[in-house]
Each structure stands twice: as structure tokens, then as C-alpha cells.
Amino acid sequence: MIKITFPDGTVKEFEDGISGIEIAKSISSRLAKEVLSITVNDQLYDLTRAINEDASIKLHTWNDEEGKHAFWHSSAHLMAEALEVLYPGVKFGIGPAIEMGFYYDVDLGNGTVLTDKDLPKIEQKMLELARSKNEYKRTDVTKEEALQFFGERNEEYKVELINELEDGTISFYQQGGFTDLCRGPHLPNTSYIKAIKLNSVAGAYWRGDEKRPQLTRVYGITFPKKKYLDEYEVMMEEAKKRDHRKLGKEMELFTFSQNVGQGMPIWLPKGAQLRESLESFLKRVQKKFGYEQIITPHIGNINLYKTSGHYDKYGEDSFQAIQTPQEGEEYLLKPMNCPHHCEAYKFKPRSYKDLPVRFAEFGTVYRYEQSGELHGLTRVRSFTQDDAHLFCTPDQLKDEFKKVIDIIFIIFKALNFTEYVAQVSLRDKENHAKYIGAEENWDKAEKAIIEAAEEKGLNTVVEYGEAAFYGPKLDFMIKDAIGRKWQLGTIQVDYNLPERFELEYVGSDNQKHRPIMIHRAPFGSMERFVAVLLEHTGGKFPLWLTPEQAVIMPISEKYNDYAKKVLNSLNNSDIRAVLDDRNEKIGRKIRDNELKKTPYLIIVGEKEATENTVSVRKQGEGDMGSMTITEFSEFINKEVEGQLSSIENY
């Protein structure tokens, strides 16, 4: 017999060799129908895999990320099987589960081109195969056997992957007539997959290398119930309406130009105002928390990034070295702000009495993203981070970390992000080699983050392998208005850069010590944050943030002069107002400005000009009646002040 410990601490005995699905059946028949995978001693298992020792377990359903991962990973294999049936000779790259569904990179060969028109027949073949109820069978083989199996089938992409694996046992999964290289876990059988939607076809270079073959990437998503697919399709229709690229164009916030370069956003006046409002808000909050603003160059000597370790880790993803007229001198476009902030700290000797030092900067950085990966503002080559770096003593670390959490709470409150999970991102337990620094310092950093999150009462999940190369972090995963998840806000603890840059302070013992460094970016990047905010709000921002708080619309050209007088008065009262004096009917002007999400529409005609008043309409609510210009100004400023006060006092 073996002892199985459940998440609530309950311990039950089962026969050696019990499987996850059998444990679920012992609890209830309903659970057995809903469970999709199981974690056994922190390792994900197939439900049919035998458990041969005492273990702590957690059963995962569709409501758990682990359950969805097993479901979508199994679906990727099912799609590959369908492709193999429909396109004999197809070769396979990788087919992972992703945040919303899965994809598979395939080489169809013979000049075969797959388009969106081909997706319905692939869906039908997948459904047909799913109904066959074929088991996902795991087989463990040696590396030599794996190479022989895929070599005989001329699967060069799989052979390349296998050659990079360490010697030892390798797992295969087979369902029906399809066999794949995979670590799992997978569903018990294909019949769990009830509803299928293949979304799109794209090109993807093998291993992300533009010099390697371009494969065909097929994206899809599946569900255990048809109603989940129906809900998903409604969400996707809403997402199309909220697409930040569409809204950004309609609202004249930003644009891109091939002449400037791919992935290099140009912020138009309204977008620049939006960014300025966000930056001013965060600067005001940061000032209350003792931050000091600094400004650093957009380029740096290549040796700066070699010292920090960023060049070794991300050199290939950086814009390559800039040569100067001086021989042997090389610079990089700044890929990170933190090395510059370390140099700012070193400007003068520091005492423990000076700490914590809190440097903040809206610093623009540059990273080379492949053209196929660029997407609106969410994946760009030039972006501005709301970066800050705190240098503190060990005794100050936890309190400083918790204060950063407080700042993130204020931002979420300000922008109505009410649903979020804090992800504790730690080292990969099995691959410490990809991180820099001493194990002892990593242990202390991870402990500080876990304790700070617990003391703030955060709803947390732990993800191994998601740490930065120099330290663990706390990432905030928010859910937007239509249920999608985004990563916004990050806080990282770093013992390693202070060591690499030889940062010091003199302690109370009159000895030199290393400070601890906290990296934090509540917005993350201004570009990505604005994209998420646009889609979360549908472009309808709170009054304090919106680029244009009011638009003045004269009924005819006769009242343009009065409209300009109103505009001048409002602008002098710090209200962001604009004039729409187009030679259009007032109904057209109202419709157009409603689409632009302008909060207040001001109509002026003969009555208003005579009485020195304005007629006010509120976005989405209609007519508010007549006010004097002064009354309207006071009304707007009071609303803005009320919004900001409630946020900052949160």
C-alpha cells in the first residue's frame, strides 16, 4: 500500500500502482469525468500513469491551468494526426500548448501551401479521429531508439531535437496511427475533445531562426464541451471590436511607418497625451514613495552589458554593435535600463543611512524581435519601460518589496483591473545552469518574495523556470474585461548585479557591504500596457486619463468664434478640450465623436452664444442640459480630482 496526500492534508491509502483516474473514481464518478491531469510530487502525470510510491497529489480539471495544458497539448497531437492523414509525408516540428489553445509547426513539403480555407476540413478530420476514442499511450525509449525511429521516417526536425537531449530515457506518445516525441502529460483518450476551432495559419522559422526553413504554423483551440466553444467565439468577436490596433487607428493614438522601421511605434498627439497622463500619474505616486527620477542614454558601451550578463543572455536579440570612428569602440542600443542605474548608484560612496536608494526612469530600450513576431504595441522593437531600481540593505528588502506591491495595487485600482493572480516565478529546479549567481543568494531572494507575497495576502501561483536569469520575480497576471489574461507588472529581487558591478555601502559596522537590488516595472512597458488598457476598456478611459476630455461642436460656422472662446477658457482651466469645426451637420459630429470615446460633447449655437453657456452631452448617457463655461470647468475638474483622490488614498 502507498499513502496519498491530498491538497487539504487528508491522507488515504491505496494499492501500489494506483493511477490518477482511479483515485478520482474513488472520490466521485463526476470528478472522474472532469479530471484531466494530475500532479504527483510536483511532477505532472498522465491520469493513467501508475503511482508507485507515497505521494502528494493534486487533480486538475478544466478550471485549472494544468488541466487546460494537458487538454490542449493532447489536441496538438490530434491535429498532427489529422494533418498526417490529409497530407502524407508531412514533417513535424514542435506542437506546444499555449495560453489559449495550441499550435503545431509543420513542413508540408512539395510546395504545398496551407491557407485558412483548408482549416475546416482539418477540423472535421480531428473530430472524426477524436470520436475513435484512441488512447494516448506513453512509451519510454532510449535516445538511440528515438533517433532510429524518427530517422527512418526522415523526420529531421525531431532528430535535431532528440540530438540535443541528454542521454537517458525519452518518452513517446502514440494515439491512433500517430507517434510523437513528448514528455506529456496527455488526456486518457481522444474522446475528451468535443469541440474544435482552428483559428489561423502563419509562417514560422524553425527554431525562430530566419536562416532556417520556414514552416507552417497552425493555431487552434479545443474544448470539452460545445458551449465552451460558443462562449469562446463570442469572446473573440468582442476581442475583434476591442483590438488595440483597430482602436488605436480610430482614436488616432499611434501609427507605424515602414520608413521608420518595423516595430517602431510613432505616438500621435493624442497617444502622446495618454502616455504623458500615465507617466505623470505614476511619477506622482512614486514621489510619495520616495523615488527619484533619473535619465540615462539610449546607448551604452558594449562592455556595460557584458558586465551585467545581458549581452551573453540576450546579445542575439539586441541590435548589434554600433561602431564608432574610434577603433575598438563599440556601443549597443540600450536593451535594458538596469546596468545604467547601477552606474548611477556608483556615482558616489553610499552609507547604510542613505539606503534605500530608489531610482526611477521612463527609459526607452531596444530589442530585435523577428518581423513575424511583431504585433501592434504588444510586441515591438522600441519600447519604454516604467523602470525603477531600488538598492537596499537585507533588513529593508521585504518592506521595500511590499511597498512596490502597494504601488501596483494603486495602479490596478486606478484602471479598474480587479481580477489578478500574483505569479511567483522561480528557478527551473532541473536547470540551475541557465542562471547566474550563488545558490545561497537565490535561496534568500526566493524566500523574500514568497514571504512578502504571503504577508500581503496575495492569491499566488508558483511557476518554476520563469525567473529572470539574475533573480526570481513576482509577476502580476490580470484578467481583462472579456476574460483574457495578461502579464502586467513585475518585481524582481537581484543579488547578482550588485556583485557584478561591485556596488557597495558602508554599514553601521563601518565595513563595506553589497546592497540588494529590486527591479520593478508596474506597467511593464508603456506600449504593451496601453495596448492592454485599450482592449480592457474598449477605448473608454477614465476622465483623468482620456486624451480628449471634451470636444466643442458649433452647430454652424457662424458660431466658430464663440466655440474658440469656449475652447480657450477650458484649456486655461487645465481641461483637455478640442474643437470640431468641420462643415458637417451636428448629428454627424456627435456620432463621430461618440465613436472616438470622447467623454463630454459640448454643443454651441445661437442660444449658448447669447447666454454665454454650453449644452453638454455625456458619452453613452446623453443630454446633461445647459451650464455656464465656469460651471462646466468646475464640474470636470471636480470629477477628475475625485477620481485621482480615491485612487491615491487607496
Active-site residues, by number, are 338, 367, 385, 387, 389, 473, 519
Burial degree of 234 (CB within 10 A; 0-12, 13-18, 19+): exposed
Helix (H/G/I), strand (E/B), else coil: 133: coil
Q: Is residue 357 within 8 Å of residue 387, measured between CB atoms?
A: no
Q: What number of CA atoms fall less than 13 Å from residue 562's CA on the CB side?
A: 22
Residue 415's SS3 state is coil
Residue in the structure block whose three cell numbers are 525562430? 208
The binding site for Zn(2+) comprises: 338, 389, 519
Question: How many Cβ atoms are within 10 Å of 115's Cβ, its own excluded?
Answer: 8
Identify whether the C-beta of residue 167 lies closer than 8 Å to the C-beta of residue 113. no
Please name the amino acid found at residue 182.
Answer: C
User: In whole angstroms, how large is the CA radius of gyration of the chain?
Assistant: 29
Helix (H) or strand (E) holding 330: strand 330-333
Chain position carrying cell 464518478: 29
Q: In the 8-state DSSP scheme, what is residue 296?
A: -
How far apart CA 252 and CA 246 sit, in angstroms, is 10
Grid coordinates of 526 = 508603456
Residue 77's alpha-carbon distances to 189, 202, 209, 216, in angstroms, are: 11, 18, 24, 16
Question: Residues marked as binding?
Answer: 338, 389, 519
Q: Which residues are within 8 A (CB) of 159 and not within 5 positions of it... i.e. 6 or more apart?
A: 147, 150, 151
C-alpha to C-alpha distance for 447 and 462, rounded to whole angstroms: 12
Alpha helix (H) residue ranges in 262-379:
269-288, 302-308, 310-314, 338-345
> Are 356 and 392 within 8 A, CB to CB?
yes
Question: What is the C-alpha to C-alpha distance for residues 193 and 131, in angstroms, rounded to an integer?
Answer: 8
Instruction: Please give the grid coordinates belonging to residue 215.
Output: 514552416
Cβ-contact 220, 79 below 8 angstroms? yes
Reduced to 3 states (helix: H, G, I; strand: E, B; else coil), residue 471 is strand
Percent helix, strand and coil across the chain, each rounded to 5? 40, 30, 35
The Cα-based distances of 394 to 435, 493, 516 in angstroms read 21, 11, 7
For 456, other C-beta atoms within 10 Å of its C-beta total 15
Tell me if 531 sits within 8 A of 562, measured CB to CB.
no
Neighbour-count burial of 577, counting CB atoms closer than 10 A to its CB (0-12 exposed, 13-18 middle, 19+ buried): buried
Residue 497 and residue 470 in contact, taking contact as beta carbons nearer than 8 Å: yes
Tell me: cis bond preceding 325? Omega within 30 of 0 counts.
no
- Report cis status (omega within 30 of 0) of the bond before 335: no
Dihedral sign for Cα 546, 547, 548, 549, please.
Answer: positive
Cβ(355)–Cβ(392) below 8 Å: yes
Give the three-state DSSP class for 268: coil
Angle, to 10 degrees, between the axis of helix 526-537 and the axis of helix 269-288?
110
